[in-house]
Amino acid sequence: MNGVNVPSPESGVRQIKLDTIPANLVDSVEINKTLSANQDGDAIGGSVNLVTKTAGEKPTLYLNGIGGYTPIVGGRSLTELDGTIGKRFGTNHKLGILIGSSYDWNGRGIDDVEPSPTTSQCDASGCDGSPQAAANAPFFPTYNGLDTREYRYYRTRYGLSGSIDYKLGEISGLYIRGIWSHFDNFGDRWVYSLDPGSFAPPNAISNNGDGAASFNASIRRPVDVIGSVEAGGKHVWTKWLLAYDASLSRSSEEDHGYSTTTFNGPGNLPIAIDTKDPLRPS
């Protein structure tokens, strides 16, 4: 962020989830596809640099509000509020100050069916996995399994950013800038799974009465926080350039609850596959 390495909130990984940081607090995203001489030598490839906003020559006033509604899973709402204000002060506009904030609530809901379509070789002697099935048996469309899933998200993200800079000359100047972001990545998941088991000959339309069902519920409440502040300056003379900066960055992740449990349903279930539409069995 602003050229400074920021630690990942998640333990054991180096990358940062970019959705932790509100997009409206960022002015631009710089993508480097390889390392350069002015970067730390601890990377293995390119880098992504998030550049925060600074005051421009013209006054800045930005206000944004978005609302939405998803008629699914009982109805879910979405809200976003953003604001940025900044200006340069003085006769020669030497002093620049800009602050911004962002808040959004994402109550997205997902209700879907996730099938695992495949094919099975079957003839009158048996199906896949059966020693009686012929190697050249015809293929029939079928399923390896099917999930009926429901997700409910309770995602809250908010953050602040700001910058102060003072021009000492055309190129020389001093600055301090920072950003802080808080992300409640909360969500619940319910999954009903159907395992068809092994299929009966001759056409994989029905199983051998050995299907099974299970149900899984999961509740996750991770909280990610990222903060970074940087101060420095640049002085340019006829033959010399002096640039310096100091920075402090901190990231954290707290687990406010991650519970999951699986209920194994009845076994030995008879299951049939509807192949009236061979491209979309059900």
In this structure, which long-range contacts are made by residues 274-281, counting pairs with CB atoms below 8 Å and at least 24 apart in sequence? 275/140, 275/141, 275/142, 275/203, 275/205, 278/141, 279/141, 281/117, 281/141, 281/142, 281/143
* Share above pLDDT 70 across residues of the chain, in percent, rounded to a whole number: 98
Task: Give pLDDT, residue 42.
Answer: 67
Number of helical (H) and strand (E) elements in the chain, helices listed first: 0, 11
pLDDT digits (tens, 9 = 90+) for 215-271: 999 999 999 999 999 999 999 998 999 999 999 999 999 988 889 999 998 889 999
H or E element in which residue 207 lies: none
pLDDT for the residue 35: 75
Residue 24, SS3 per DSSP? helix
117: β partners: 143
Lookup: tokens for 211:
């299907």
pLDDT value of position 164: 97
Q: Which residue has the higher pLDDT, 48 or 280?
A: 48
Residue ranges of alpha helices (H) inside the chain are none
For the chain, the 3-state helix, strand and coil shares in percent, each to the nearest 5, are 0, 60, 35
Using CA atoms, how far apart are residues 149 and 109, in angstroms rounded to an integer?
11
Contact 52, 86 (CB under 8 A): no
**CA-CA distance, 59 to 112, in Å (whole number)?**
47
Rounded to 5°, angle at Cα 86 from 155 and 181: 25
CA pair distance 182, 224, nearest whole angstrom: 6
Span 150-176, pLDDT tens digits:
999 999 999 999 999 999 988 899 999
The vertex-144 CA angle with 138 and 145, nearest 5°, equals 150
pLDDT at residue 44 above 70?
Answer: no
Q: What contacts 145, CB < 8 A, 6 or more positions away?
A: 115, 116, 193, 194, 195, 196
pLDDT at 45: 73
The rounded distance, in Å, linking the Cα atoms of 137 and 249 is: 62
Q: In sequence order, what are the residues at sequence separation of 6 or more whose Cβ sits closer than 8 angstroms to the Cβ of residue 36? A: none
Task: Say if residues 8 and 251 touch (Cβ distance below 8 Å).
Answer: yes
